[in-house]
Structure 1
Amino acid sequence: MALETYRKKRDFTVTSEPRGLKGRSSGNAFVVQKHDATRLHYDFRLELDGVLKSWAVTRGPSLVPGEKRLAVHVEDHPLDYGSFEGTIPEGQYGAGTVLVWDRGTWTPEGDPEKAYAKGHLDFTLHGEKLKGRWHLVRMHPRPGEKRENWLLIKGEDDQARGPGDPDILEEEPNSVITGRSLEDIAGDKKSRRWTSGKAAQPRVETPGSPRARAMAPVESIKSDPPAKKKRALPPVKRAPFAFSPPKGAKRKALPDFIAPMLPTLVATPPSGAQWIHEVKFDGYRIEAVVKAGKVKLRTRTGLDWADRFPTVAAAFAQLPVKDCIVDGEVVVEEANGISDFSALQNALSEGETGSMVYYAFDLMHIDGYDLTGLPLVARKEILQSLLKATPDVILRYSDHFDENGELMLQHVCRLGAEGVVSKKRESHYLSKRSTDWLKIKCANRQEFVIAGYVPSTTTRKAIGSLVLGYYENGKLRHAGRVGTGYSSKMALDLFALLSRERIEKPAFESPLSSEARRNAVWVKPDRVAEVEFRGWTADANLRQASFKGLREDKNPKDIVRERVAPMAKEAEAPATSVTFTHRDRVYWPEAGVTKQGLADYYTMVWPWIEKYLLGRPLVLLRCPNGIVQGGFFQKHPWAGIDPHILQIHDPHEKEPILGIDSFDGLMALVQSAALEIHPWGARSDDLDHPDRLIFDLDPGEGVAFAEIIAAAKEVRRRLAEAKLKSFVKTTGGKGLHVVAPLTPRATWTVAKDFCRALADSMAHDAPQLYTATATKTQRPKRIYIDYLRNARGATAVAPYSTRARPPAGISTPLTWDELDSVVSGSQFTIGNFSKRLQHLAKDPWDGFFRLRQSLPGK
């Protein structure tokens, strides 16, 4: 079920349930919510494929093995629903009171997607109340039965109870977050709407409760700060403000959220008149969405934190506009005027929201107009005028400087600020990481995953240090410890928090040294710390690290070791003499990618893609009006073809075939609306001898991506038996390509026969998994091993080529080691590819063209 079903059933202007976004593609949270609706029941939810798969268990879970509890399958829920506690109003779907009865993680036995599809899930729960092995089994539907009924059954293990033992539902009836009962929540008119974070980590709710007192300093949430600490807002005295839409602003309905534009980390600020420079703030990046006086404060992942920053929300509600979306940062400033993340954390934990201010640095939407296509300086001019229309000192304009960026960096670093953000003054607002915005830090600082702690040797029930890590190719790597930067209170609070999340073994991929393991207590790698440090030791541990605070707005799986991106001078970037027309033509409507965006992408990847394109024939998929209206394959020249596109003689063809030999040639393909580039498997100077083999793994309906990965590994194994080394890439669509370079000696016929034999052997050995027949009727629930691309004139999409389909995917070379971490053939897109490039030390296919290997017997 998609989240559309969930959303259609709810009016979010009335109910306080989260609208929700689909989350990460992989995770293992579970939650059980006690729901007093038409009748009392328990909602059992497992995180799978970015949502919470949900069942309504009418009598609740039982710890007695073999006792079957009816579980009615209901619509998928968003991940942030797992932390929802409150009352759903009368007249709304599911009206009644909800509390979080249990939470934790689950470990499936085998492939969870396959098991879910088959209707039999076996798994282990690691909750605060429910533990051990469990089963979910789908029942065969009765005639005319519309609902999907399952059974929830406890497995036999040490956590099971006998029929005469106490009922867990009666023994522990209340919330695992706050200790409140349903009656407590129903009677609390100020009950929080919903909390941030993933389902496995709901946030503290009720001030004054023992659990709240233990958690609040760490979780930084109080639903109702003490009245004496609330900031009294001054009377509204607005300066005149009248918005007149400038040229380039487009009328558009107010979106609920605009994904943020992210800066690229570089070593030094750029120079030149095209750049402006802003102070880099040290707080929470927050997008304010204002509509008819109602305010949502969105984190960079789209969560609404308006209840965390009530004074900021109240200030935005005073703006003299119908609607707007502002980008900025919530900070707490020290006496020297410098923002400090630790001070912000302390203010949150103490409920001191009056000490917070909001620095606004961009304006993306106002009074029905989309401004994202305007130059940055134009957006900022309107923003500055808007903020002058409110006297509230909470909302502040983030001014910029035209001075030399290097001088500015030296200045702010001397003052103790975090750094500088340099932006191209003419840049548009792009919802992605971009080199149009650059961040330069005064000190080494980034987020790390908390994988364990070392208890204090001086204070009981306090931490002495945290064990840190980061992800590399989907695997958690050890980064050392941070043992300073904690207040005494924070050390106690972190111990109270982390001691409940203990696990037996460290989550790191590689074994640790005895020194790294010394006195460590391991925890689930579900939390993120921000750390400042002097550098890295030779064994890749942090040097002189200091804790700055918890980052509740970051996904642990996204935490990698930050490396400064190489920033070439503007003059050194590839230049082209190709004349572009209609740069703003949209090629991918859903992704919002224009011709200019495509040109920018290929400019970025030119050093990576050129060796796969130059000197070989190309077939193009051209879509002059974008992907919606479709396109056509082009292998011969057309009228008005750009002279930078080569015309190659092929003795087997009446007309020339196509190719390029320069960056200008690639830009000419962009101008020609070539949204896919398909090279031959041979070079232009030797058309009759292939220099690579390619196997296209095309999944039929009902095939999980994990099965495609397994198929790619099987092709690799069989090629290795033939003494052929192979490489793998996503197709940018549904599947994978396995490619083996060849020394061009064999003919096309020999190469195709070899590939056919390998495909046939896989289909023969596992007919339930594979087929070598192109017939569509042979493909459901099987993978088609397409060997037909190994024929003269046949092609396959190039490494780093875009695909003419949503979501603007990229055919992405991978290392075999990282393949298991990929979740789909279209995982990498124009929108996210720059992030990948920043963390690639070299081409994953490094050595492809240096490899000398031949088919057996050749």
Structure 2
Amino acid sequence: MAGTSGAGLATYNDKRDFTKTAEPRGRKAKKAGHSFVIQKHAATRLHYDLRLEMDGVLKSWAVTKGPSLVAGEKRLAVHVEDHPLDYGTFEGTIPKGNYGAGAVIVWDRGTWVPVDGDYAKGKLEFELRGQKLSGRWHLVRMRGKRGETRENWLLIKAEDDAARPADAPDILTERPESLKTGRTVEEVAEGADETPKPARPKAASRVRKDAAIPRAKKAPMPDFVEPALAALRPAPPTGAKWLHEVKFDGYRLQARLEGQQVRLLTRSGLDWTDRFGAEVTDALRALPAEAFIIDGELVVEAGAGASDFSALQADLSEGRNERFVFYAFDLLYLNGQDLRAAPLLARKQALEDLVGSRPGRVRYSGHFGEAGAMVLRHACRLSLEGIISKEADAPYRSGRGKTWIKSKCSARQELVVAGYVPSTTSDKLVGSLALGVFDDGRLDYVGRVGTGFSAAVARNLRDRLDGMRIDDSPFADKLAADAARGVRFVRPELVAEVEFRAWTADGMLRHASFRGLREDKPAAEVVRENGPAKPAPQAPRRRVTLTHPDRIYWPDEGITKEGLADYYAQVWPRIAPFIVGRPLALLRCPSGIDGQKFFQKHAWKGISKHIALVKDPKAKGEEPMVAINDLDGLMALVQSAVLEIHPWGSTVADWDRPDTITMDLDPGEGVAWDAVIAGAQEVRQRLTDAGLAAFVKTSGGKGLHVVAPLVPKADWPAVKTFAKELADAMAVDAPGAYVSTIAKAKRKGRILIDYLRNQRGMTAVAAYSTRARPGAAVSMPVAWEELDQIAPDYFTVINTPARLDALTRDPWEDFRPAAAPLQAKPAAKGRKR
């Protein structure tokens, strides 16, 4: 068959006369990589050639209608002969009379990452990281017909953040230009100038005429422009003259393009271009301009898309750059014109015209004109860092002024590292850092931070700080005995960004978490900032002693035993109603999530006196089960390495009459998030039809839990029967969408409506409980209207406290008051979708 790997490059070479075509001669490469290229080819029939690097060649498919960003839309992809890697840069015209005669441009390129499947078996799932195409894709080989000589495949976009709705602009018409020269395939065919130039969208010519920007001045490009800085205020400003942007959690950078040279400068003017790899600079170079200065922020978007400074730090330390995104929020100079005197809105309009609204390595940072307080509340509810409010008509002013105001969701600031305490679990790691702030030249102690270090960061910090040791304390005042215990002092030169709940009355940090080093700011500039808009609520004090508090439970996120204890202390008032006085099944992970894991529901040797032992009245002769009655009990679970808490749906006061129904929606492979949301809404409606109130929470995994409070009158068999009938009815009414059986073979592309949580002895993860999985997600109660703004693992140990501080109303506030007895059967058939 054409295109099979056995043909190698012989077929490619046999089809071409290299004395007549400029295409590269076919030679198999020795290097191994994962490059991809899509070439737009105006041959006898216009098509797009998708080429994926495998085994030293480019496996190739002719996509007749071109790729589509609409999830699920199938595009025919005809497998053709392998091409040499050198072909990935080919652009030009193949002369008439030659195989494939016509114009060719490099339409998109980048890297691809295998996700699942096997090319040889005709099914491949992969991620594209290009400048026009990104996200997950599927290539599926179709069954051949008798006598058919070509090998037909289907190219299908998967459902993810990079997918577009069916009515969105078509990427093929939106971005017709070459990434290599900026020419269209028509220009190449007409023999247009082949000199490389910045890529531009031919169809729309988005960039405004410079003269249309008010108060713009013709001028040479200025040297480094000191960035505008925002003043911290406890609340955002009000009034129509302000616009509001999301505050990013990354590195502030000034992107400068002069000719084909791109440079990325920090807020102090350091050249960090080489630190971030070629993908971002290539994307900036491809913007349709000859020269610009863009003010923006380079971030890593972890989890559900929120920027995460810790993830950025981790990627930098590991030499990874595939997740870097540059958000552009201001335009200072463009094509010979200085825009700093222009109004902000005019600068932003020109910037949006330049960058466009498409997703990619460079993205435009939009803004909101609504009331700042409302924007801040929304940002905080989604656990973002905060917002920046800017005067819409103001010019760009370097330095800290009154036209940019920042409002934060939680207390976070830079602090000076002045010492460290070694880890109690390894002599190669940092256990905690001693921190301070400067005040008129004196360094004041503000406390320690002992969580938030990944294992790699803790090791790197130890190596670095060991070389900075000094004999005497750099703090102006002598430290108290507790503060000084175990501290090894260092030169106060490094700056750490730290998130914390509040300042104590004596000026110390409460519940601090390390977010990363800020190498773009001198330590001498670090002073105490104003606090958050309101002080964090006082969490109850714990009395249980933690041994090895710096033991890391989530290595990538750097969450320690003490960090987990801090989290549970902060959420205690909310989690308590769901775990106190109930039999518990516990997932214990003594070495963290990467070590041994085991479920435990019975008492163990050496169990803490703060953990209650309870006897199941129907389990005579069995070991006691475990429960907790107070915060000390929860802290004892943390000390015992409990990373997941799964309560019964009934209490120890009434074992046999449940007070909760939990319907677990578990999506199978290929199910989109909006389908899970629709399924949860369907469960909600059926519960409502049965006279029950329905609440929703993330599972902390892939799905959702729809939970109904009960007046405990019905017994377990009745509740199980009700839940099973509800699940079965959904599976019958919409068999293509839902199943109610556990068998994995039946779940692909469908959602399991798991009703088995609702029987005696079974459990479901508690609201606010952590999950023993990478990412440190928690099972989070949410409002129904929030579902389309988050992902199932959006809320984590790190960002949950800020969300809870920002909530004006608990979405589960009425959970227990809404309890009703189980009376009606669930809605039966007739709800087909």
TM-score (structure 1 length as normaliser) = 0.47
